[in-house]
Amino acid sequence: MTEPSADCRSDRHLWVENLAPDTRVSGCYLVKSKKLSTTRNGNPFLSLTLADKTGDLPAKVWDRAEILSDLFHEGDVIEIAGKTDTYQGQIQLTVFTLHPFTERPDPDLFVETSPFDIPGMMRSLRTVLNQVRDIHLKALIDLFWKDRRFMNLFRKAPAAKNFHHGYLGGLLEHTLSVCRLAAQVSDHYPALNKDLLITAAFLHDVGKTREFSWGMNIDYTDEGRLVGHIVLGVAILDEKLGSLKYFPDELAIRLRHLILSHHGQYDFGSPKEPKFLEAFALHLLDDLDAKINGLHRFMERDRQEGPWTDFNRMFRKFFLKSPVPGTRETEEKRETEINRQGMLFSPNA
């Protein structure tokens, strides 16, 4: 087998997040999107979104666009040579040459994974789930946990294609976070049924194990596009409930509603809107965790100069990304002052 070129190995790769304007670029990148268009003069050109695990980069191919377009598809890895410039304040790549990368790509270049340790997250999730005391809910959780095929998918799956936790292990990371929030919020609000809320937090996105496919790229399965993770989640829940002979019907209905309503609004793809306390809480916690993760990633990867991000189309606004001034220094001074006062008023002073 022919060895891949040095620029297609992770130790020599030019990462997207590090690219600056007026930089010559050569190496391997994943094609996330491809569109063949024409200029006002009728000349064909290619618009690409190229990516590695650190981010995406818009790119244009102006020469031989139609010929080159036939050489590759979305989801392929291509070797390119080009140069970056800026367009409307953003870095863009002009591709001079490209050809398909025919060897096995190095997954370390393209497959983004959760920044947190997978086995550690699994242990932490089990610790939160152990707080559930209801015998029926505990039995349901155990059925899922002992299903090796399901749990293998669950620990690897992304939570989304783009916005939040859109990387391998993202579903586990998101689920753990929502479960932790559920435990804390139910302690703060005694009116919430803690066992039900934690169980629903664990199960609310299980349909994503069948909604997405993943490898070099995250995409929707046919089942994911046609049915969606919410309906798939209820189907997966019902499969497990069928094995629990004495599971209360009322509790099963509540769990189905929690999954069906966790997106909160019909406009956001929710078949039902929340209709009891735990359903409202689950929707809010899921939304909070998704938005904080997604916005943090958006700000981290933003290439706009200055304290403000580029315009965010999802939220239709700019975001202030500069750190809060003086917070770290103020906190350090406060701790120093507390320690100094502690020494002054120590019985041994």
Residues 6+ apart with CB under 8 A from 42: none
Taking the CA atoms of 329, 330, 335 and 336 in sequence, report the sign of the dihedral they define: positive
Question: Mean of the pLDDT values across residues 60-89?
Answer: 90
> pLDDT band at 10, cuts 50/70/90?
low
Residue 1, pLDDT > 50, answer no
Among 220, 183, 186, 187, CA closest to 75: 220
Q: What is the per-residue pLDDT for 275? A: 96
221 phi, psi to nearest 5 deg: -75, 165
- Separation of alpha carbons 174 and 164, rounded Å: 9
> pLDDT band at 86, cuts 50/70/90?
confident
Q: In this structure, are strands 55-61 and 44-52 parallel, antiparallel, or unpaired?
A: antiparallel
Residue 226, pLDDT > 50, answer yes
Task: Encode pLDDT of 168-189 as tens digits.
Answer: 999 999 999 999 999 999 999 9
Residue 234, pLDDT > 60, answer yes
* Crossing angle for the helix pair 148-156 and 170-188, to the nearest 10 degrees: 90
Question: Mean of the pLDDT values across residues 92-119?
Answer: 87
Highest mean pLDDT (candidates 90-104, 240-254, 297-311):
240-254
Q: What is the DSSP letter of 266?
A: G
Q: What is the per-residue pLDDT for 3? A: 42
Pick the range with the lowest mean pLDDT from 49-53, 54-58, 325-329.
Answer: 325-329
Q: What is the per-residue pLDDT for 267? A: 78
Residue 151, pLDDT > 60, answer yes
Return the percentage of the chain with pLDDT > 90, whole number: 60
- The number of beta carbons lying within 10 Å of the beta carbon of residue 263 is 22
Q: What is the per-residue pLDDT for 347? A: 46
> pLDDT band at 61, cuts 50/70/90?
very high
Look over the chain and give the mean of its residue pLDDT values, rounded to a whole number.
88
Correct CATH for 112-299 of 3.40.47, 1.10.10, 1.10.3210, 1.10.12? 1.10.3210
Question: Mean of the pLDDT values across residues 248-262?
Answer: 97
Fold observed for domain 6-109:
OB fold (Dihydrolipoamide Acetyltransferase, E2P) (2.40.50)
Residue 278, pLDDT > 70, answer yes
> pLDDT band at 342, cuts 50/70/90?
low
* pTM value surpassing 0.85: no
Question: Mean of the pLDDT values across residues 196-217?
Answer: 93
Among 266, 270, 247, 249, CA closest to 258: 270
Residues 6+ apart with CB under 8 A from 48: 31, 33, 34, 35, 58, 59, 60, 61, 95
Residue 344, pLDDT > 80, answer no
Q: What is the per-residue pLDDT for 309? A: 86
Q: Please give the sequence-ordered ranges of beta strands (E in DSSP) within 66-198, or none if there are none.
A: 77-87, 90-100
Domain positions in the chain are: 6-109, 112-299
